[in-house]
Amino acid sequence: MKLREERVSIPSRQGHEIQAVVITPVGDTPRPGVLLYTDIFQLTESTLRTARRLAASGFLVLVPEIYPRGELAGVALEFDDEGKARGLAGAASMPTAAFDEDRVSALDHLTALPGVTDVLVTGFCIGGHLAFRAAFDERVAATVCFYPTGLQDGKLGADVADSLSRAGDIRGRLFIIFGSQDPHVPADARLQVLSALYAAGLEDLELHVYAGGEHAFMRDIGARHDPELTDLGLREAVSFFTGRS
């Protein structure tokens, strides 16, 4: 499937601009829209390659930067120690409320795009946590979180996020994927997340743990990348988003 790709600037309700990429299958057919959150490195080619693969399954995909308010606005970071440090510093500079405000702006933009039907969300690492919070929005029909960090302890940005305690606000379908070898979300943390979701009444959900998967196993750069698990994750995300059709 051929794709059309463009860079856009999303106006926020707070007055700043959010840089984003919109990837759309060629053709005017109405299709679901997916808000895709990046990891701490923002709009890298690695993340965009994953977004293109998702778009090729028939979705319009909107990929916004997650740090549009400071020195990392418009910056795609390198996958090295300096890039990691800058990405973590960017996260630490963002209050949870700022992430939430930017999410509203991104969803407003996505829902206003021509031909968008259902609104879906996904994300990776910190983006998986942001995707989880995006599921609080009643417009979101389904969410897939890939190895979300910080759900178990509220670590997201400059403060402690109330994500798990708000799990009962989620009305759409939810699917979470972890790797069994992820040091950021070990077995006890995964159990804590699942227990909290059940306690919130979210029994109709899916949580998968991929054997051997390390953190960021879907990032196609570096030793942790697992192509087989990446393919599996994308297939299962597409199947989930399409209602197992």
Angle (CA) 91-95-100 rounded to 5° is: 100
Angle CA 137–141–143, to nearest 5: 85
Q: How confident is the model at residue 188 (pLDDT cuts 50, 70, 90)?
A: very high
- Break the chain down into helix, strand, coil percent, rounded to 5: 35, 25, 40
The CA distance from 21 to 61, in Å, is 8
Is the pLDDT score of 245 beyond 80?
Answer: no
Cα–Cα distance measured from residue 210 to residue 178, given in angstroms and rounded to the nearest whole number: 6
Across all residues in the chain, what is the average pLDDT? 97
> What residue ranges define each of the domains in the chain, with the CATH number in brackets?
3-241 (3.40.50.1820)
Kindly indicate the confidence band of residue 105, based on its pLDDT and cuts at 50, 70 and 90.
Answer: very high
Q: Which two tokens stand for residue 101?
A: 């405000």
- What pLDDT was estimated at residue 214? 98
pLDDT at 231 over 70: yes
**Rounded CA separation 245/236 (Å):** 12
pLDDT at site 203: 84
Give the residue numbers marked as catalytic: 125, 182, 215
Residue 41 has pLDDT above 90, yes or no: yes
Average pLDDT over residues 8-28: 95
Give the Cα separation of 151 and 143 in Å (integer). 15
> Would you say 84 and 40 are in contact if contact means Cβ atoms under 8 Å apart?
yes
Handedness of CA 138, 110, 243, 239 (dihedral sign): negative
pLDDT in tens, 53-65: 999 999 999 999 9
- Tokens matching residue 151: 């759900």
Gyration radius (Cα) of the chain, Å: 16
Judged by DSSP in three states, 130 sits in helix
**Strands in the chain per DSSP E:** 3-11, 17-25, 31-37, 60-64, 116-124, 140-146, 173-179, 206-210
In the chain, % of residues over pLDDT 70:
100
Is the overall model pTM greater than 0.95, yes or no?
yes
Q: How far apart are CA 78 and CA 69, in angstroms?
A: 19
pLDDT digit string (tens) for 117-163? Answer: 999 999 999 999 999 999 999 999 999 999 999 999 999 999 999 99
